[in-house]
Amino acid sequence: MIPVILSGGSGTRLWPLSRKDHPKQFLKLLSDHSLIQETLLRLKGLSKQKPIVICHESHRFKVLEHSRQINQPLEAIFLEPMARNTAPALALVALQRVALGQNEPLLVLPADHRILDVKAFQDALKVAELHALTGALVALGVEAEEPHTGYGYIKRGGKKCNAYRIDSFREKPDLATAKSYVESGDYYWNSGIFMFQPEAYLDELQRNEPGIVVACHKALASLHEDLQFLRINEQAYGSSPSNSIDYAVMEHTRKGVVVPVSCGWSDIGSWTSLQACSEADEQGNVIKGKAIVEQCSNSYIRSGHRTVAAVGLENVVIVDSHDAVMVASADHVQDVGKLAKQFQSPSSVKLPQQEEEVFRPWGHYKNLSVEDNYCVRKLSILPGASLSEHSHNLRSESWVVLQGQARVRVEGQVHDLGPGESINIKSKLKHRLENVGEGPLEIIETQTGLAISEEDIDRI
């Protein structure tokens, strides 16, 4: 099987940590690994095929860096110029596989889920693969642990070997309906994990949403390989209808099969679902980071850079990020996405929206302080990597080495710097920075000038 990881979601219900430029799959919410890293790691030993990732073009370096950190090579990274939901995204991979003469089953995985029992998960996928090889379109159905109104459901039909035919898909129900689903024993949570052969998927997609197939075929006609990145035609892809695999294919196919699994699954779709996945103290509180509480219970409190202090609260969620603090009643966490829209809206009160970490081919940087005429950031440069030679018209820069060995070229002159050493670079001077050490290079960069803008870069 070929793992295909969908990394296009925005996860706005986990705002203010999850953002458009840094969605939840890149967050370390449950362990020392990000959610996309957890997804990659649980594939080890399952398939010899390297995973394919589908993501928005702006996230390409994040995906590359997160896979590099855990030493997980990728087969390719499909770049979506704009979001068109999961059905077109998967059509790109399926069409490419067919063009290469390959019809191995595609294992479709969201990048941002939690799974505790990896063995049970992999065992279920091996069963799914057997059915997919017969031409079936397989969904993993999670055995419902409780009535849940935040998940869609799959109703099983007649038994088919060690799985079931899919009778129907059901939308997120109200609580009474969810209870009846669980009590019947005929319903599973829809995990959003699927497996099918490319040809089988395309046959069903052509029957139900032919416009998607046509648009994706045109988008692939000018496929351009850029290192591991696969770029497609933006205009053609933009003409595709936007639809999910559930609506476009799985709800219509007569070849649907559901494989039951119990593996400690959660889609981590809200702060309370994350709270349910985390270990609580005696008062039912989940506290992450620096926080002090008094007479609080059943609350989720997560601090970022500051200490969060809370007194006399019950069933609340408090999340502190680098530029915003979110406080919500646990009963209203599904509406947090509305706050994210307000925060991003140009018509709302002007709010600072500085992305905390920005990834580049050479590593990444983190903004520490940003104002109109100065910026302080921390640069992390990978061993052997370098920034391209460039200059600035409106600003000067100073670099202080915190860790590692830096080589700085300014107008042809070479300066080798170690920890504690610094250099000032005036505006309009051509300069280049590279890591010549064996380990990471960390630098504090201070920008000062008439204006601070990412547009003020002349690359040589």
Q: What is the structure's pLDDT at 10? A: 74
If asked whether residues 119 and 216 sit together in one domain, one would say yes
Estimate the share of the chain in helix, then strand, then coil, as percent rounded to the nearest 5: 25, 35, 40
If asked whether residues 241 and 278 sit together in one domain, one would say no
* Omega prior to 173 cis, within 30 of 0: no
Q: What is the structure's pLDDT at 351? A: 46
Helices (H) and strands (E) in the chain, counts: 11, 30
Q: What is the structure's pLDDT at 347? A: 56
Q: What is the structure's pLDDT at 337? A: 87
User: 246 and 190 in contact (C-beta within 8 Å)?
Assistant: yes
- Which ranges of the chain have pLDDT less than 70? 345-356
If asked whether residues 437 and 317 sit together in one domain, one would say no
Q: Which residues contact 147 (CB under 8 A, 6 or more apart)?
A: 175, 178, 179, 181, 182
Strand segments (E) across 129-247: 137-143, 153-160, 163-170, 187-196, 224-226, 229-231
If asked whether residues 166 and 81 sit together in one domain, one would say yes
If asked whether residues 260 and 279 sit together in one domain, one would say no
Residue type, 31: S
Q: What is the structure's pLDDT at 438? A: 92
Could you tell me the CATH number of the domain that includes residue 183? 3.90.550.10
Q: How far apart are the first and last CA of the chain?
A: 44
Q: Examine the fold and report which residue of 204, 239, 266 is the final residue of a domain before the chain moves on.
A: 266
pLDDT per residue over 294-305, tens digit each?
Answer: 999 999 999 988
On whether residue 370 sits in a domain, the answer given is yes
Which residue is associated with the tokens 């007194």?
311
Strand segments (E) across 23-72: 52-56
If asked whether residues 285 and 151 sit together in one domain, one would say no
Q: Examine the fold and report which residue of 238, 266, 294 is the final residue of a domain before the chain moves on.
A: 266
76-80 and 187-196: which strand pairing? unpaired
If asked whether residues 91 and 182 sit together in one domain, one would say yes
If asked whether residues 88 and 225 sit together in one domain, one would say yes
On whether residue 12 sits in a domain, the answer given is yes
Number of domains in the chain: 3
Give the domain extent around 226.
2-266
Q: What is the structure's pLDDT at 350? A: 46
DSSP 198: H
Q: What's the CA dihedral at 307, 311, 317, 321 to 10 degrees?
A: -20
pLDDT per residue over 60-92, tens digit each?
Answer: 999 999 999 999 999 999 999 999 999 999 999
If asked whether residues 120 and 201 sit together in one domain, one would say yes
The residues pairing with 325 across neighbouring beta strands, listed in sequence order, are 320
If asked whether residues 15 and 127 sit together in one domain, one would say yes
User: 136 and 12 in contact (C-beta within 8 Å)?
Assistant: no
Pick from 378, 385, 425, 423: nearest CA to 403 = 378
Q: What is the structure's pLDDT at 352? A: 47
Q: In whole angstroms, what is the distance from residue 452 CA to residue 398 CA?
A: 14
